[in-house]
Amino acid sequence: MWHDDTLQRCPHCEGHVSLRREHREIGTLIECPHCGAELVVSNDEPPELDPALFEYGPEEGDHTP
């Protein structure tokens, strides 16, 4: 029994977004199939979606210590 898809809620339209296993990685960008908003995977266990805001900005804090 595989749980390949995890249904998440779009923070914009609250529609269901299916998060595939290969997308379940922090920082992955996903487009909401309902409203077209860009979402970013903010957590992988359990998977969570956040709006991909432009304040994500330049990749400055990208290098993890």
Of the candidates 55, 51, 58, 41, which has an alpha carbon nearest to the alpha carbon of residue 6? 41
Smallest gap, in angstroms, from Cβ of residue 21 to Zn ion?
A: 21
Smallest gap, in angstroms, from Cβ of residue 30 to Zn ion?
A: 10
**Which window, 1-9, 12-20, 40-48, 55-63, contacts Zn ion (CB under 5 A)?**
12-20
Binding residues for Zn ion, total number by CB under 5 A: 8
Contacts of 38 (CB under 8 A, 6+ apart): 29, 30, 31, 32, 51, 52
Q: Which residues bind Zn ion (CB under 5 A)?
A: 10, 12-13, 15, 32, 34-35, 37
